[in-house]
Amino acid sequence: PKGLEAAHSMRDKFRNACATPVETLRKISQDMLSQMEAGLQSDGESRLRMLLSFVEHLPCGNETGLFYGLDLGGTNFRVLRVQLGGKEKRILKQESKVDSIPSEIMTSTNEELFDYIARVLADFVATEGVDCNLILGQKRELGFTFSFPVSQESLNSGKLVKWTKGFAIAETIGQDVVKELQAAMERCKLDMHVIAMVNDTTGTLAGGRYWNEDVMAGLILGTGSNACYVEQTSEIPKWPPSLPKPEETVINIEWGHFWSPHIPKTEIDDDLDAESVHPGQQVFEKLFSGMYLGDIVRRMILKLAEQACLLGGVTEIPSNMATPFVLRTRDVSIMHEDESENLENVARVMETIFGLKELPLEVRKVIKDVCEITAARGARLVAAGIVGIVRKIGGRKKKICIAIDGSLYEHYTKFRAKLHEALVELLGQEAAAKVVIELSKDGSGLGAALLAASHSKKD
Ligand code: ADP
């Protein structure tokens, strides 16, 4: 049929526009590297902010004692405690609890928000067993993973730049969130001290590093995407002279905002960006993270339906096909990973979401192709970014481990496979074997507690 021919030709154009041959990836990773270097020179020099984390000691396994972690990155938050037994015994006990911030509190006041969190923490502290050997009179210490934009000048302070992800409390902006949390804990009579505040990538890195000293970078591939890595302070010209200078620290790249002229971008990406809440921001992340990947695919299917009559027999295009974010990245992974002869999962997703029944097999194939093309570009761009970081770390390490957290990496098998494949293409078999990616599930809250331990004031 004519519609199908037109659809095939549009799909092929889309594939070409999204192509990421290895030479292109190489240029992109070079741009990642040079923008990282520029960002280390001074603030405002680069698209990459290269934020200092103020971490002075990464956890190494020798830490001992009882420590708390708090991981706040969205509606759900986690509180946890770990009893650390040192080099041999490591984690003697770990307990955690997940709670969620009621929606009315996300838009209330500083006091209500932080009191809510402090109360959950206090209730959790109350369940400490007798085996939690906190020495009498010692303050409990907490590491805090806070995954919102903050501007930090020390490890235990940071001013909120803006709220994201459904939070909207105007008075918090510009305030030190550690102070707010600390004050709420005092109001709750909770005797606890915030030792460290980090973002989720740094938490993930620290969590991985505790077990494995080769961990040199942390990466988030979930709703959003970001990366951090261990840098030598001698390589950071913008290091404030007034600060003590540890040998190494963690740099938060804020790589979601990366851009290179070599990145293949289509009209669809431009539209998605223009219609997004923050146009022009986080443009790298918008090409592949869990929040957006599904919407790129939706837009392309809609375009195929409008311009190439992909849905042929269906007289009207389903009205919700024009609704942003109705097709989620999880749906894309289901369709992309459909290996059945008749692409039954593709059919099921199209029916569940758009009410489309009995799509011909040829149409299902085109839809699966769109998923494949979009995911492959995304995974390969992530690989190029990783290679930029690996090259920045350079010969400092024989082996470089990258701790990754996020559902996109964890659950989307083909995305993960494409990413690994591209790493081998870029680095070659031998060098790629020295770059190890390990899944560090929910490691960021634990990482924060471990950072509290490695920066503890107790001894
Ligand atoms: P967050 O990043 O918000 O802390 P996650 O790491 O769980 O949380 O990431 C959530 C994102 O992962 C969502 O955008 C979701 O679409 C995506 N996601 C969840 N499951 C899958 C899956 N099976 N395949 C691809 N993406 C998935």
List per-block mean pLDDT (blocks of 10 residues) for the chain, which spans 459 residues: 87 98 98 98 95 97 96 93 95 96 95 98 92 75 95 95 90 97 97 97 98 97 96 97 95 97 98 94 96 98 95 84 97 98 98 95 97 98 98 94 97 98 98 96 94 90
Pocket probe mutation, ligand 1, options 75, 76, 223, 335, max atoms within 8 Å of Cβ: 223
Q: Where in the chain is the domain with CATH 3.30.420.40?
A: 54-198
CA 151 vs CA 43, 50, 159, 199, 276: distances in Å: 12, 12, 5, 11, 24
Q: Counting atoms of ligand 1 from 1, which one is nearest the CA of 165?
A: 3
Q: Could you give the residue numbers annotated as active site?
A: 78, 147, 200
- What integer pLDDT is reported at residue 136 of this predicted model? 65
Nearest CA to ligand 1 atom 14: 290
Q: Please tell me the class of the 54-198 domain.
A: alpha beta
Tokens of 417: 């496979």
**Helix 344-354, helix 361-393: angle, nearest 10:** 100
Work out whether the CA dihedral 4, 417, 231, 443 comes out positive or negative.
positive
Residue 256 contacts by C-beta under 8 Å, 6 or more apart in sequence?
224, 225, 226, 282, 284, 285, 289
Q: Which fold has domain 1-53+213-441?
A: Hexokinase; domain 1 (3.40.367)
Q: Does the CB atom of residue 230 touch ligand 1 within 6 A?
A: no
CA 304 vs CA 320, 374, 457: distances in Å: 15, 14, 60
- In the reported structure, the alpha carbon of residue 296 is separated from the centroid of ligand 1 by a whole-number distance in angstroms of 15
Tokens of 272: 């998605």
Q: Does the CB atom of residue 414 touch ligand 1 within 6 A?
A: no
**Helix 361-393, helix 293-308: angle, nearest 10:** 140
Tokens of 407: 């559902």
- In the reported structure, the alpha carbon of residue 41 is separated from the centroid of ligand 1 by a whole-number distance in angstroms of 34
Q: Does the CB atom of residue 330 touch ligand 1 within 6 A?
A: yes
Q: Does the CB atom of residue 443 touch ligand 1 within 6 A?
A: no
Q: Does the CB atom of residue 375 touch ligand 1 within 6 A?
A: no
Nearest CA to ligand 1 atom 2: 222
d(CA 239, CA 33): 19
pTM: 0.96
Q: Does the CB atom of residue 73 touch ligand 1 within 6 A?
A: yes
- In the reported structure, the alpha carbon of residue 411 is separated from the centroid of ligand 1 by a whole-number distance in angstroms of 8
d(CA 77, CA 8): 45
- In the reported structure, the alpha carbon of residue 89 is separated from the centroid of ligand 1 by a whole-number distance in angstroms of 33
Q: Where in the chain is the domain with CATH 3.40.367.20?
A: 1-53+213-441
How would you classify the pairing of strands 64-72 and 76-85? antiparallel
Nearest CA to ligand 1 atom 6: 406
Q: Does the CB atom of residue 291 touch ligand 1 within 6 A?
A: yes
| Burial 390-401, CB ≥16 within 10 A → b, else e | bbbbeeebeebb
Q: Does the CB atom of residue 223 touch ligand 1 within 6 A?
A: yes
Work out whether the CA dihedral 401, 405, 406, 411 comes out positive or negative.
positive
ipTM of the complex: 0.98
d(CA 315, CA 343): 23
- What integer pLDDT is reported at residue 138 of this predicted model? 77
Q: How many residues does the chain have?
A: 459
- In the reported structure, the alpha carbon of residue 408 is separated from the centroid of ligand 1 by a whole-number distance in angstroms of 5
Q: Counting atoms of ligand 1 from 1, which one is nearest the CA of 333?
A: 24
d(CA 92, CA 46): 44
- In the reported structure, the alpha carbon of residue 424 is separated from the centroid of ligand 1 by a whole-number distance in angstroms of 25
Q: Counting atoms of ligand 1 from 1, which one is nearest the CA of 328?
A: 16
Tokens of 370: 């769109």
Q: Does the CB atom of residue 222 touch ligand 1 within 6 A?
A: yes
Choose among 353, 348, 268, 358: nearest CA to 311: 358
Nearest CA to ligand 1 atom 15: 290
- In the reported structure, the alpha carbon of residue 64 is separated from the centroid of ligand 1 by a whole-number distance in angstroms of 34
Q: Does the CB atom of residue 290 touch ligand 1 within 6 A?
A: yes
- In the reported structure, the alpha carbon of residue 138 is separated from the centroid of ligand 1 by a whole-number distance in angstroms of 39
- What integer pLDDT is reported at residue 131 of this predicted model? 75
Residue 5 contacts by C-beta under 8 Å, 6 or more apart in sequence?
none
Q: Does the CB atom of residue 406 touch ligand 1 within 6 A?
A: yes
Nearest CA to ligand 1 atom 8: 222
